[in-house]
Amino acid sequence: MNTAAQAVTIVMVEDDEGHARLIERNLKRAGVFNEVRHFASGTAAIEHLFGPDGPNGRPVLVLLDLNLPDMSGFDILAKLKEDPKLRFAPVIVLTTTDDEREIRRGYELGCNVYITKPVNYETFAQAIRQLGLFLAVIQVPEAP
Amino acid sequence: MPFTRTALGRATLALLLVGFLCLLGLGGATLWLVEQTRGFTARVEQTQLVRSLAYQALAQLQNLETGQRGYLLTQDRAYLAPYEEARARLPDLLARLAAVTVTATGRQMTGELGRLADEKLAELAETIALVDAGNLPGAVAVVRTDRGRRLMDEARLDIDRLIGTTTTRLTDATGRLVANARWLLWVTLAAIAVIVLVAGFSLWLFRRYAAELEQAGREVQAANAALERRVHERTADLEAANAEIQRFAYIVSHDLRAPLVNVMGFTAEFEIGVESLRALVDRVEAEAPALLTAEARTAAREDLPEAVSFIRSSTQRMDGLINAILRLSREGRRRLVPERLRMAELVGGLAKTVRHQLEERGAVIEVAPDLPDLTSDRIALEQIFGNLLDNAVKYLDPARPGRIEVRGRLDRGPVGGPAGGQAVYEVEDNGRGIPARDHERIFELFRRSGAQDRPGEGIGLAHVRALVRRLGGSIGCDSEPGRGSVFRIVLPRVTVATTGDDQP
């Protein structure tokens, strides 16, 4: 495992505890040991991402569920892509439907991967590894 | 009172008849007056003739006397000339007078005048004869008897009375003519009044009829508008209800999947756990069999894997069903894009995709080259005919060589139906068929008919019916077990573009 990639923090926005648990377990089983910060609501996730305890330029990868109790995942996605720093953070959208309009909208807003639940965890972990690696490569020139 | 066209026609005819009769009466009365006037003119002429002749007769009588007196005074026969002349003319005058006198009193008077003239002539002739004989005193004595004078007075009186009588008759006739003329004037005025009334009444009738027509037209228009508004309201209601159902289906399927994801995910976790337990049981069995109970062995090797496999197959099935509902709801919200479609080509293309399956089974498919074309949504039609052809292939009867046929025709459709009429398509097969009790059921979601020996979830035909209805058409099935099935689709030739719901 690339150490730079491991430095990437995974921010998971998922209101369903079961889904969150399954994602974490499967990531570990697939060998992704990055720190995972789980938020059960859109508000909490935004507070963290844009707050003082947030990434502040450290590399993050966002796992985003679209069906959140307090807002749509698209709202968070749009907010991320408007932010000068966070706009480079890769976003994986996770949702229960494979509605093509929803998928198109996700990609239009700038999501990197769109994954339909129940996930094939092998593909899922592969996507995360690649995106983490991609992130790490980009981070290299900025590293001191 | 509402006014029908027949009633108006009858009333108009009656009024026309009344007007015509008035005019006829007026014409008749005028003719009659003209005739009266002519008769009156003739009478005036006759009266004047009577007067003239009477005065001439009187003048001749006086001439007679004048000649006699002259002769008596002079005994010169030259003075007798007026007498002779008058004696020659008088009978003719009297005869003419008698001829033109028409009334009984007139005739009596002319008769009297004739008698007086004769007597006068006799008296005069007597005196003249006496003078001729040289007996002048005898003649004067005759004159002195006053008989001649009396006769003359009587003759004058008679003539005066004759003239008076004719004048009176003329005055009477004039009075009658004036009265008639006045009467005719009133009749004419009355007729004009009646005609004016008739014309006015007809005008009023027409105006009323026109007003009623206009009113009826307005009412029909209002009713139409109300009807249209109601149709719009109903359509809006239906569309709202439909949208709600679609939304409901979407939310239900969406939210049902969330817990299902957990069930599936944790079943996988469970399976992993069972796997490690089974490895442990195997080790314990090999290294310390005394520790292992029969229950633990059965649980780890048989019961738990079996439970996991049941959960797995059930959740997979549930996932499939939810996906089907989701697909249906999505199809219901898709925007229809009507385009000109050559149906023989479209169905022919679909037939090609099932051809190799058919060849494997030794079956044939025939698509009529004259399928009526449509202006409709391509994707929807591909799904409709694709599903029907798939079903036809899937349920062919292995007992006989399969044969599938697609044909179509135009139908003018019901009155007030979609403009441009409708097209009827039939997909016929000689497959295993469907019992009559299932002809409606097969179009319901998750329902299937006959032996469940072919893969499928009971979604295809429900989907087909939803699509056909969305296009404004209908679908029905005609089938007999062991003989085959005919699926009949009726579609409007032109589908109107719908506003889809592009929001997820």
Residues in chain A with CB shorter than 8 Å from the CB of B502 are: 101
Give me the residues of chain B with pLDDT under 50, please.
1, 502-504
The answer to whether position B168 is within a domain reads yes
Are B290 and B402 within one domain? no
Boundary (domain end) residue, out of B189, B212, B235: B212
**Residue A143: per-residue pLDDT:** 37
Are B395 and B352 within one domain? yes
d(C-alpha B254, C-alpha A95), whole Å: 9
CB contact under 8 A, B266 and A97: no
Q: Which CATH number does the domain housing residue A100 bear?
A: 3.40.50.2300
Residues in chain B with CB shorter than 8 Å from the CB of A122 are: none
B344-395 pLDDT, tens digit per residue, is 999 999 999 888 888 888 889 999 999 999 999 998 999 999 999 999 998 9
3-class SS of residue A94: strand
d(C-alpha B436, C-alpha B430), whole Å: 16
Mean pLDDT calculated for residue range A105-132: 77
Boundary (domain end) residue, out of B331, B347, B364: B331
Are B425 and B375 within one domain? yes
| β A91-95/A60-65 pair status | parallel
Residue B382, amino acid: E
The answer to whether position A143 is within a domain reads no
Considering only the beta carbons, identify the residue of B258, B266, B503 that sits closest to A96: B258
Q: Residues 6 or more apart from B5 whose CB is under 8 A from it?
A: B209
Q: Which residue has the higher pLDDT, B253 or A10?
A: A10
A74-107 pLDDT, tens digit per residue, is 999 999 999 888 888 889 888 877 777 788 888 8
Considering only the beta carbons, identify the residue of A19, A25, A99 that sits closest to B261: A19
d(C-alpha B148, C-alpha B170), whole Å: 33
**Residue B362: per-residue pLDDT:** 85
CB contact under 8 A, B261 and A18: yes
Q: Which pLDDT band, with edges at 50, 70 and 90, does A141 fall under?
A: very low
d(C-alpha B388, C-alpha B460), whole Å: 8
| ipTM confidence | 0.75
3-class SS of residue B354: helix
The answer to whether position A77 is within a domain reads yes
Six token digits for residue B407: 């044909």
Are B321 and B357 within one domain? no
The answer to whether position B228 is within a domain reads no
Domain count, chain B: 3
Domain count, chain A: 1
d(C-alpha B372, C-alpha A79), whole Å: 53
The partner residues of B422 in beta bridges, in order of sequence, read B411, B492
The answer to whether position A54 is within a domain reads yes
DSSP A119: P
Q: Does A103 touch chain B (CB under 8 A)?
A: no
> Does residue A1 have a pLDDT over 50?
no
Q: Does A99 touch chain B (CB under 8 A)?
A: yes
Chain length of chain B? 504
The answer to whether position B398 is within a domain reads yes
Are B381 and B268 within one domain? no
Residue A118, amino acid: P
Boundary (domain end) residue, out of B194, B212, B230: B212
Range(s) of the domain holding residue A92? 3-138
The answer to whether position A144 is within a domain reads no
Are B139 and B15 within one domain? yes
The answer to whether position A69 is within a domain reads yes
B31-88 pLDDT, tens digit per residue, is 888 888 888 888 888 888 888 888 898 898 889 888 988 888 888 888 888 888 988 8
d(C-alpha B179, C-alpha B43), whole Å: 17
The answer to whether position B503 is within a domain reads no
The partner residues of A63 in beta bridges, in order of sequence, read A12, A92
Are B153 and B277 within one domain? no
Q: Which CATH number does the domain housing residue B360 bear?
A: 3.30.565.10
Nearest CA to B487 out of B442, B397, B427, B423 is that of B427
Please calculate the CA angle B283-B285-B287 and round it to the nearest 5 degrees: 65
**Residue B385: per-residue pLDDT:** 94
Q: Which pLDDT band, with edges at 50, 70 and 90, does A144 fall under?
A: very low
The answer to whether position A16 is within a domain reads yes
CB contact under 8 A, B261 and A102: no
Are B318 and B357 within one domain? no
d(C-alpha B126, C-alpha B264), whole Å: 176
B463-476 pLDDT, tens digit per residue, is 899 889 888 889 99
Q: Is the peptide bond before A118 cis (omega within 30 degrees of 0)?
A: yes
Range(s) of the domain holding residue B247? 243-331
Six token digits for residue B127: 């005196």
The tally of CA atoms less than 13 A away on the side-chain side of residue B197 is 8
Could you tell me if A24 and A73 are in contact, meaning their C-beta atoms sit under 8 angstroms apart?
A: no
Are B305 and B378 within one domain? no
The answer to whether position A64 is within a domain reads yes
Mean pLDDT calculated for residue range A118-138: 67
The answer to whether position B381 is within a domain reads yes
d(C-alpha B53, C-alpha B67), whole Å: 21
Are B287 and B142 within one domain? no
The answer to whether position A39 is within a domain reads yes
The answer to whether position B487 is within a domain reads yes
**Residue B414: per-residue pLDDT:** 58
Nearest CA to B404 out of B384, B389, B424, B382 is that of B389
- B494 burial (CB, 10 Å; 0-12 / 13-18 / 19+) is middle
* Chain A residue nearest residue B255, CA to CA: A96
Are B151 and B261 within one domain? no
| β B484-492/B422-429 pair status | antiparallel
Q: Which residue has the higher pLDDT, A127 or B16?
A: B16
d(C-alpha A54, C-alpha B352), whole Å: 58
Handedness of CA B174, B180, B185, B186 (dihedral sign): positive
d(C-alpha B265, C-alpha B465), whole Å: 35
Are B51 and B196 within one domain? yes
The answer to whether position B225 is within a domain reads no
Distances (CA, A) of B387 to B456, B463, B466: 12, 9, 12
Considering only the beta carbons, identify the residue of A18, A25, A101 that sits closest to B262: A18
**Residue B491: per-residue pLDDT:** 92
Mean pLDDT calculated for residue range A2-8: 57
Could you tell me if B383 and B350 are in contact, meaning their C-beta atoms sit under 8 angstroms apart?
A: no
Six token digits for residue B33: 């007056």
Could you tell me if A80 and A62 are in contact, meaning their C-beta atoms sit under 8 angstroms apart?
A: yes
Residues in chain B with CB shorter than 8 Å from the CB of A102 are: 504
